[in-house]
Chains A and B, each alone.
Chain A
Amino acid sequence: MRASALAGLPRGLTILVTAAAVLSPLSLIFYQSFLTAPFFDARKTVGVGAYEFIFADPDFWQASTNSVSIAAAMVVIAVPLGALLAFVMERTDLPGKRWIEPLLLVPSFVSPMVLAFGYVVAAGPVGFYTVWATELFGSAPWGIYSLVAIGAIAGLTHVPNVYVYASAALKSLGSDVEEAARVAGASPFRVALTVSLPLIQPALLFSAVLVFFLGFELFGLPLVLGDPEGHLVLSTYLYKLTNKLGVPSYHLMAAVAICIVAVTFPLVLLQRWLLQNSRKYATIKGKAGRMRELPLGRWKWVAAALIGLWLFVGVVVPLSGIALRAFVSNWGYGANLAEVLTLEHFVSVWDEPMLMRAIRNTILIGTVGGAIAVACYTAIGFATHRRNDGWSRFVDYLVLVPRAVPGLLAGLAFLWVFLFFPPLTPLRTTIFSMWLAYTVVWLAYGMRLISSSLLQVSTELEEAARSVGASRGQVSRQITLPLIRPGLMASWLLVFMIFEREYSTGVYLLAPGTEVIGAQLVSLWQGGAIDVVAALSLINVVLVGAGLAVALRFGVRLRD
């Protein structure tokens, strides 16, 4: 038996490093927001000038209003559609469910930046579908640059977030309560409206808050789609502050960031509280038996058509747009698809060392970086596993903090951390800086993957090891770790896809040496290099798709 003082050391160290990685960027933002100039400026003084400035700026208020309206529109669109989709998928005899299921989750794995760009080239004023529709019918009855369109697109692309939680809740809901309603004479849709959906209300409430929260975090969609008509949301307002003033206005950016976090952090706490509550309800459930599927009858085709329409709008339109745009030299009215086909965009990617570095870095950060990130998450998971002390609760809340800081802000904060602490500065232009930011930004997501693996290990297996004489450390290494290995492999795959998809975190950390596709897309888009953006977007989709294919092949659960 080892000395207990030494046994606690790895745990203490893990908690300390996590706390430093999570809290230092946030405190730096907080500190910066109360300065009157960038923190490296000698003339800085402490004050609330930054807040006074942004609160006096009508654009800030316009952006806030837009953020709230878009988030609200997303809730109104995504929650009912997601709930209904979950019911149709879980409970009815919809044809082709097995094929539809993985497709439903695609929008949540494609980078929003890529999606937004896809909408521009597919359905923008001179997009493929717009041009085709105009040629066929004389006009195309849609526009994608209005605030309403942004809200609608954001809402439709967030249906999967609701679907995941609603269908999980429906799965755990015993079918006997529904069968009882059927026996009492209720039709399938009456059952859905009066029994199933009310019973999964906690899950729906949770996903409503989640979607509203994600609406506040939105960056890629409003950046690309809001630009032409000048619609700003809080995140794009922050991003454009530098352009607006022409000088590094770190204190203003920090003040906006604190305003965003002031909204998102309570939302994260609310989500946590709701999730715990919904688990409380989940214990009062009927017998989860295999249920006979509800026959949809004639409605079968209506439901299939609606899901097909949604998949078309949410997946096919943007992805086909990108795929086409990557292979054409130019596009517009009167262009003939066969004549403009080309591979030159990929050649220019190949010829540009910066872009090749971006591709290499992106693969590296997903594979190697993903593995190291999973190792870190696992270490943190073990630091709190089966311990119910103050430190565990501290870590519980600690991992929530990055969840409340949108990637854009987190990237900015890490940039400052690397500038602020001289020993770290040399690492700023290495891929390490990008990896650290990614790992911290996705901390809560990763921890959820790890802890769900850890929770599947029955307590008794660990207690049995302790009773035959294994110390805590030995139990972790020799019993728990081997048992969660499949879960860790699945987590690695999911983290790979998330890291390939990530774009906003890298925006401010982008430098020669740290290029990644996601952030590079934002920067190239700003520069108007649409051909390269198309090619790079397609490469990004292929990378995520490769991960998705492996995941499906090995039956990895794509939902957390």
Chain B
Amino acid sequence: MAELTVDDLHLAYGDNPILKGVSMTLDRGEVVSLLGPSGSGKTTLLRAVAGLEQPHRGTIRIGDKPVFDGAARTDIPAEGRNLGLVFQSYALWPHKTVFENIAYGLKLRRIGGAEVGERVRHVLEQLSLAPLAERYPHQLSGGQQQRVALGRALVYNPPVILLDEPLSNLDAKLREEARAWLRELIVRMQLSALCVTHDQSEALAMSDRILLLNNGRIEQQGTPEEMYGNPLTLFTADFMGSNNRLAGRVAEIRDGAARLDGEGFALWGLARPSARIGADGTAMIRLERIRLADGPGDNRVEASLTTSMYLGDKWEHLFALGPARLRAYGDRPLAAGAHWLHLPRESLWVF
């Protein structure tokens, strides 16, 4: 059952359209990430769901209750939507202790003092914050603040929690731990979560489903595997991973495969919807899919090594193929000169 349904949502700041007809659903117990570059409208969408931005068309429903309907002029204010929202900056109230920050939402719901205490303590324990209840926000580390912000949003059991870049304020090492912890918590507590992020690896790791936004529209949506392994557009392919691009002309399309001819290569790959025979096209392949080969063969190119970089767990080699540059991983350094590279046709997309 859908906990959250957004249908054809339009939103503009003055004359500047931000959301141009976005539709999505969030099912119970599901984590959906809104992914996109800055300016794509992902945070605006989240804030519109929360009731902090004013769309001008479309509908937003929480469960089966419409909270925004442009046609029917329904617009329930933020405080009436009963959602949990975790801010990027955490936005903890500096004049309230950890306990008071979390308890505030319960007090607003006129819940008795004893029950407030019990429920706040329960949340504090679940978030391993129990010893910090009487501290003020400025006495907490970034990770602790993030957990308080989460507790504040969870304590009154909202049907959906909204997370705005929940990990971006943590430093790199802490972020990976927090990512695993957050995913585990969401699954354990069976939360339905809508999460904004600009980091594709975070989205891949955290979500059941990813919505990729581009310029106010949904570019593609699907499971993390689909988004990474089967991108339908160049934008999706480009955004979801580290890629090699080759420009050329689409020479042939046959049985779902396409051949791209370019300067110094002719490669077969999976034809994407936008590929047209005779038109300019782009071939794209993830860095980790290129293999070093020992000689010529099917879908192989010869390129000369420009430089190599040591990354710790592997090497990254940079090759020149005419005007194009190709990057590939290897497990050992390479001698200077020309090398053969294999670009498997099932890993290469032609757009």
Contact = CB atoms under 8 A, between A and B. Distances in A.
Interface of A: 1, 458, 460-461, 463-471, 474, 478-479, 482-483
B18 to A, nearest CB: 16
B52 A468 contact: no
Given A466-B52, A469-B105, A483-B95, A460 B80 contact: no
Contacts of B108: 468-470, 474
A466 B94 contact: no
Contacts of A471: 77, 79
A468 B104 contact: yes
B51 A464 contact: no
28 contacts: A1-B80, A458-B91, A460-B87, A460-B91, A461-B93, A461-B94, A463-B85, A464-B85, A464-B92, A464-B93, A464-B152, A466-B77, A467-B50, A467-B51, A467-B81, A467-B83, A468-B79, A468-B85, A468-B104, A468-B108, A468-B153, A469-B79, A469-B105, A469-B156, A470-B108, A471-B77, A471-B79, A478-B104
A466 B79 contact: yes
Contact of A464 (B81, B82, B91, B95): B91
Most buried by B among A458, A463, A469, A474: A469
B104 A465 contact: yes
Contacts of A466: 51-52, 77-79
B188 interface: no
Contact of A463 (B78, B82, B95, B152): B78
Nearest to B155: A468
B109 interface: yes
Interface of A: prevailing SS? helix
B79 A458 contact: no
B84 interface: yes
Contacts of A458: 89, 91
B95 A469 contact: no
Contacts of B79: 1, 466-471, 474
A136 B89 CA distance: 69
Contacts of A467: 50-52, 78-79, 81, 83-85, 153, 162
A469 B109 contact: yes
Nearest to B108: A469
Given A479-B93, A482-B95, A483-B95, A463 B105 contact: no
A482 B85 CA distance: 22
Given A464-B92, A467-B153, A482-B95, 19 more contacts: A1-B80, A458-B89, A460-B87, A460-B89, A463-B50, A463-B52, A465-B93, A466-B52, A466-B77, A468-B84, A468-B105, A468-B153, A469-B79, A469-B80, A469-B82, A469-B156, A470-B79, A471-B77, A479-B93
Contacts of A479: 93
B136 to A, nearest CB: 13
B344 to A, nearest CB: 47
Nearest to B94: A483
B185 to A, nearest CB: 19
